[in-house]
């Protein structure tokens, strides 16, 4: 009695692939502390997936500075680098699981808490609802070599979670992430706890604005609000000439993510607007 069988659903919870995204490591450290020995047989937790990047608190790590979340699966972009070796070692540990959750914090972008899908979401959406997450974003085009995509290709229910913005750790967002993960584990009957569920809205990114040149971005709108097409969301400053250029909403919809104020480089994503898929 009390001991749960080790066969059944196996889950991998991953964070820290990008070393400047810190809500996941804080949340998974707390999840780890709550898991019983029996639960650990079914739940594999890796809070620190990319230790050298986390130590440096940078997205990537020396010596190769390759993006670890571009190194998974056959379509990985780089050759045998230290980062790719780390990715392969992680993959070897988790390749057998049924459910894979990769937690990120938006990097330089602040985002409304949401799940990210690399496919239709048929397997993933019930799990995302069980986490109480209000939004799931489906991307039409994704970079190659993502962990969540590699998981899905091997038949796992596999998705990403984005909470907050990098560098800064907000206690309420750590709390939200711990609660969401625990609800998922309760839903899968791997831990005791109340089963909750949210009506998850599936979103489609309608419009993205990118920086047209190297500049200083000053954001003037909070994320998570409905915006009108053409609405001013921030300003790009040329730090030398003093010239300013408005950054406006490319579409009407929900402002899902926006770069935090600070330096930006030509081509970097500034804002993303989404609408529910009906």
Residue with the CB atom nearest Zn ion in the bound state: 104
DSSP class of 68: G
User: Residue 70 interacts with Zn ion (CB under 5 A)?
Assistant: no
Q: How far is the CB of 67 from Zn ion (least distance, A)?
A: 9
Q: Kindly state the tokens that stand for 106.
A: 């938006």
User: Residue 18 interacts with Zn ion (CB under 5 A)?
Assistant: yes
Quick one: which segment of 70-78, 103-111, 179-187, 189-197 binds Zn ion (CB under 5 A)?
103-111
Q: Which is nearer to Zn ion, 10 or 20 (CB)?
A: 20
Exposed (0-12), middle (13-18) or buried (19+): which is 269, by Cβ within 10 Å?
middle
Quick one: which segment of 15-23, 80-88, 118-126, 149-157 binds Zn ion (CB under 5 A)?
15-23
User: Residue 138 interacts with Zn ion (CB under 5 A)?
Assistant: no
Quick one: which segment of 14-22, 122-130, 228-236, 240-248 binds Zn ion (CB under 5 A)?
14-22
Q: End-to-end alpha-carbon separation of the chain, Å?
A: 46
Gap between the Cα atoms of 236 and 3, Å rounded: 58
Q: Kindly state the tokens that stand for 30.
A: 């707390």
Restricting to residues 194-233, name those near Zn ion by CB under 5 A.
Answer: none
Q: Which is nearer to Zn ion, 108 or 187 (CB)?
A: 108
Gap between the Cα atoms of 161 and 112, Å rounded: 10
The residue count for the chain: 278
Gap between the Cα atoms of 235 and 142, Å rounded: 27
In three-state secondary structure terms, 54 is helix
The sign of the CA dihedral 127, 128, 129, 130 is positive
Gap between the Cα atoms of 60 and 53, Å rounded: 5
Quick one: which segment of 5-13, 21-29, 169-177, 195-203 binds Zn ion (CB under 5 A)?
21-29
Q: How far is the CB of 18 from Zn ion (least distance, A)?
A: 4
User: Residue 104 interacts with Zn ion (CB under 5 A)?
Assistant: yes
User: Residue 114 interacts with Zn ion (CB under 5 A)?
Assistant: no
Q: How far is the CB of 166 from Zn ion (least distance, A)?
A: 8
What are the residues binding Zn ion (CB under 5 A)?
Answer: 18, 21, 104
């Amino acid at each position: 009695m009390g001991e749960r069988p080790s066969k059944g659903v196996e889950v991998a919870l991953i964070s820290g692939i990008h070393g400047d995204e810190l809500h996941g490591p804080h949340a998974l450290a707390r999840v780890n502390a709550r898991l019983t020995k029996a639960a650990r047989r079914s739940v594999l937790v890796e809070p620190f997936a990319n230790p050298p990047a986390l130590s440096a608190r940078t997205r990537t790590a020396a010596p190769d500075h390759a993006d670890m979340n571009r190194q998974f699966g056959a379509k990985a972009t780089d050759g045998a680098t230290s980062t790719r070796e780390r990715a392969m070692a992680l993959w070897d540990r988790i390749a057998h699981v049924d459910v894979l959750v990769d937690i990120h914090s938006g990097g330089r972008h602040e985002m409304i808490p949401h799940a990210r899908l690399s496919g239709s979401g048929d397997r993933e959406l019930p799990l995302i609802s069980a986490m109480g997450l209000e939004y799931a974003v489906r991307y039409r085009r994704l970079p190659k070599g993502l962990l969540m995509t590699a998981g899905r290709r091997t038949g796992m229910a596999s998705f990403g979670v984005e909470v907050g913005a990098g560098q800064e750790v907000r206690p309420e967002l750590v709390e939200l992430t711990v609660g969401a993960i625990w609800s998922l584990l309760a839903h899968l009957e791997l831990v005791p706890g109340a089963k909750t569920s949210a009506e998850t809205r599936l979103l489609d990114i309608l419009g993205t604005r990118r920086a047209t040149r190297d500049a200083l971005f000053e954001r003037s709108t909070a994320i998570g609000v409905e915006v009108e097409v053409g609405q001013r969301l921030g300003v790009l400053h040329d730090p030398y000439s003093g010239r300013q250029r408005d950054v406006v909403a490319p579409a009407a919809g929900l402002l899902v993510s926006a770069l935090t104020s600070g330096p930006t480089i030509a081509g970097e994503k500034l804002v993303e607007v989404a609408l529910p898929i009906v």
